[in-house]
């Protein structure tokens, strides 16, 4: 029986943003293990801000499994953190309690900066490179440098080999800034993949001596450099198949009513990013508009042209947001609107 390297991955208790942690356990299986075959495991919660030292055990409960092509018989095991009883979700476990619906499709656009020596990859040691303009979807050494594309391509291949549903990648507006898009059916399926893709990106970057900066405005709120978002594209079965202007307006009214509740889970320091500049709406305003990248919710042309049917893009979530909490909140607001 081959020995598999099971990499259990979980979210720690750091605030305002959970960090990723992982450790390996070796187990024998006849073939690549299924989720049901993977046992719960434990870790020292006092080292991850999830427990006191005197009673430090937390439980890892596997919730999703992916092949890890970097290792012989490698397995990536996404986990929820549970209390010592193994059944009560730990307070830091944002996945356990969110709404889910396999017929609601999510597409997250994860933006991030690659960083080296405390500055975005490709920035000079002191000062700034040429202003943004040529970097978005850019090509050529002076626009994207030398190792960024290598990292991004390696990450893409790893994710595809893991079965993560990448839909695309692109260089973003600021120098050293990139994006990947992941599509999934259901809040948990999609958000699990975002977390594992984040994990794989961090791991790929290790060998390049590069860090990933997930902060939504790493160059500060006054610099003329774009921040990082994680736009949340979503569509329920009803939106795709029935839709209509009346339902759309009711849905948007509910989004407006819940504006603060959404912002609360859309990532830390979002006031630095949602300023009304750099393709954003202000944090305290809610708006929507057809093809409007300065709105909170962008309505794709295809949606309006197709009788208000299809998907919408909530542009407010930021790069450091927790996709479980974001998708869960979107579903909650949707659930409050009668169809
Ligand atoms: P842009 O940068 O113009 O906002 P992207 O191509 O980066 O657009 O992202 C669009 C996202 O929309 C993709 O992640 C895709 O998965 C998602 N998407 C497309 N169709 C749907 C749908 N019907 N429901 C939910 N998400 C969708
Ligand atoms: Mn995009
Ligand atoms: Mn983008
Ligand atoms: Mn977008």
When divided into structural domains, the chain yields a total of 2
Domain assignment present for residue 126? The answer is yes
Residues 75, 218, single domain; the answer is: no
- Bridge partners of 60? 41, 81
Does residue 170 contact residue 179 with C-beta atoms inside 8 Å? yes
Residue 316 falls within a domain, yes or no?
Answer: yes
* Protein residue with its CA nearest to atom 11 in ligand 1: 107
Residue 100 maps to a domain? no
State residue 11's pLDDT score: 98
Q: Distance, CA 181 to ligand 2 centroid (Å)?
A: 7
170 and 60 both lie in a single domain: no
* Residue 236 sits in the same domain as residue 180: yes
160 shares a domain with 67: no
User: Which CATH number characterizes residue 165's domain?
Assistant: 3.30.590.10
In the chain, the percentage of residues whose pLDDT exceeds 90 is: 95
- In this structure, are 36 and 143 located in the same domain? no
**How many Å lie between the centroid of ligand 3 and the Cα of residue 229?**
7
Q: Render pLDDT for 201-258 as a digit per residue (tens, 0 to 9).
A: 999 999 999 999 999 999 999 989 999 999 999 999 999 999 999 999 999 999 999 9
CATH number at residue 23: 3.10.20.70
Shared-domain flag, residues 75 and 135: no
**Dist. CA 223–CA 204, nearest whole Å:** 29
Residues 178, 311, single domain; the answer is yes
> Is the domain of 116 the same as that of 184?
yes
Do residues 152 and 283 share a domain? yes
Please report which ligand is nearest the Cα atom of 312: 1
Q: Does 292 share its domain with 202?
A: yes
Ligand 1 near 107 CB (within 6 A): yes
Note whether residue 95 is domain-resident: no
109 and 258, same domain (yes or no): yes
For residue 61, give the 3-state DSSP assignment. Answer: strand
pLDDT (mean) for 297-321: 97
71 and 160 share one domain: no
Ligand 1 atom with minimal separation from the 182 CA = 14
Q: Is the CB of 178 under 6 A from ligand 1?
A: no
Q: Report how far ligand 2's centroid is from the alpha carbon of 89 (Å).
A: 33
Output the pLDDT for position 298. Answer: 97
Higher pLDDT among residues 52 and 34, named by residue: 34
Residue 226 CB less than 6 A away from ligand 1: no
Residue 93 lies in a domain: no
Q: Peptide bond preceding 160: is omega within 30 degrees of 0, i.e. cis? A: no
CA 135 – ligand 3 centroid, Å: 12
pLDDT of 53 > 80? The answer is: no
Q: Is 104 in contact with 234 (CB distance < 8 Å)?
A: yes
What is the number of the ligand 1 atom nearest to the C-alpha of 235?
A: 24
Residue 87 inside a domain? The answer is no
Tell which of 67, 82, 97 closes a domain.
82
Domain range enclosing 54: 3-82
């Amino acid at each position: 029986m081959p020995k598999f390297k099971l990499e259990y991955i979980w979210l720690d208790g750091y605030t305002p943003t959970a960090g990723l942690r992982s450790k390996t356990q070796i187990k024998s299986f006849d073939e690549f293990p299924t989720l049901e075959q993977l046992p719960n495991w434990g870790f020292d919660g006092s080292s991850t801000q999830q427990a006191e030292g005197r009673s430090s055990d937390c439980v890892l409960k596997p919730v999703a499994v992916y092949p890890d092509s970097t290792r012989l018989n490698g397995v990536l095991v996404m986990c929820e953190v549970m209390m010592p009883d193994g059944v009560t979700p730990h307070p830091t476990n944002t996945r356990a309690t969110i709404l889910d619906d396999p017929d609601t499709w999510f597409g997250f656009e994860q933006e991030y900066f690659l960083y080296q020596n405390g500055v975005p990859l490709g920035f000079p040691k002191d000062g700034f490179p040429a202003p943004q303009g040529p970097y978005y979807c850019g090509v050529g050494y002076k626009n994207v440098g030398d190792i960024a594309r290598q990292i991004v391509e390696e990450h893409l291949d790893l994710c595809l080999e893991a079965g993560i549903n990448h839909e695309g990648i692109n260089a973003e507006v600021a120098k050293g800034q990139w994006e990947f898009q992941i599509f999934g059916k259901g809040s948990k399926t999609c958000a699990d993949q975002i977390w594992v893709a984040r994990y794989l990106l961090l791991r790929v970057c290790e060998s390049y001596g590069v860090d990933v900066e997930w902060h939504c405005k790493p160059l500060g709120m006054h610099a003329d450099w774009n921040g990082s978002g994680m736009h949340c594209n979503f569509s329920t079965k009803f939106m795709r198949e029935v839709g209509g202007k009346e339902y759309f307006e009711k849905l948007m009214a509910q989004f407006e009513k819940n504006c603060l509740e959404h912002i609360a889970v859309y990532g830390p320091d979002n006031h630095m990013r949602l300023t009304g500049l750099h393709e954003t709406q202000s944090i305290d305003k809610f708006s929507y508009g057809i093809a409007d990248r300065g709105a909170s919710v962008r309505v794709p042309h295809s949606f309006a042209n197709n009788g208000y049917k299809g998907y919408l893009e909530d542009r407010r979530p930021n790069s450091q947001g927790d996709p479980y909490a974001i998708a869960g909140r979107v579903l909650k607001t949707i659930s409050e609107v009668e169809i």
